[in-house]
Amino acid sequence: MTYRVCFVCTGNICRSPMAESVFRARVAGAGLDDRVEVDSAGTGGWHEGEGADPRTVTVLREHGYDAGHTARQFDPSWFGHLDLVLALDAGHLRALRRLAPTEEDAGKIRLLRSYDPAADDDLDVPDPYYGGAEDFDACLEMVEAASEGLLAAVRAHVEGQAA
């Protein structure tokens, strides 16, 4: 059975495609790419059909990640086939919880940085859109740090299903 993960930010051009790319690489590196699907979306549809922000593409490529991406808006009907929905900040978390059709679906939503044991009380990944290259680098560092814990949690779930 395939385990499905979707990262969600505002417009699906900065943070969530970055998280998608990083986590997809972690999943592949762990040999789980045949059992885990990774995707991303935005809470809004302003950038639907566009590629990732050029600064996201640059930072991903500089760090050896795939940068191919097409933005889209999260659809509440997706909850039915998703196992985990990862919000990049508290605003996305609230928006996704409002969209969740059931309590079970709302229970699938988590903040990405909740998987980073070194994260402080602020679990938001700040939006780098209005900043400079250093903000995109900082965003990538936060995403990478959380991805290790997320991978461990997903691996435990996937391997638990196989048992």
Per-residue pLDDT tens, the chain, 163 aa: give them. 899 999 999 999 999 999 999 999 999 999 999 999 999 999 999 999 999 999 999 999 999 999 999 999 999 999 999 999 999 999 999 999 999 999 999 999 999 999 999 999 999 999 999 999 999 999 999 999 999 999 999 999 999 865 4
The count of structural domains within the chain is: 1
CB 20, CB 41: distance < 8 Å: no
Dist CA 119 CA 124 (whole Å): 10
Per-state percent for the chain, helix, strand, coil, to nearest 5: 45, 15, 40
pTM of the model: 0.97
CATH of the domain at 40: 3.40.50.2300
Where in the sequence is the domain holding 80, given as residue range(s)?
Answer: 3-162
Residues 6+ apart with CB under 8 A from 53: 13, 14, 129
- Which amino acid is residue 150, in one-letter code? L
Of 156, 146, 148, 85, the closest CA to residue 116 belongs to 146
Residues with catalytic annotation? Answer: 9, 15, 127
Residue 90: alpha-carbon gap to chain centroid: 13
The predicted structure's pLDDT at residue 160: 86
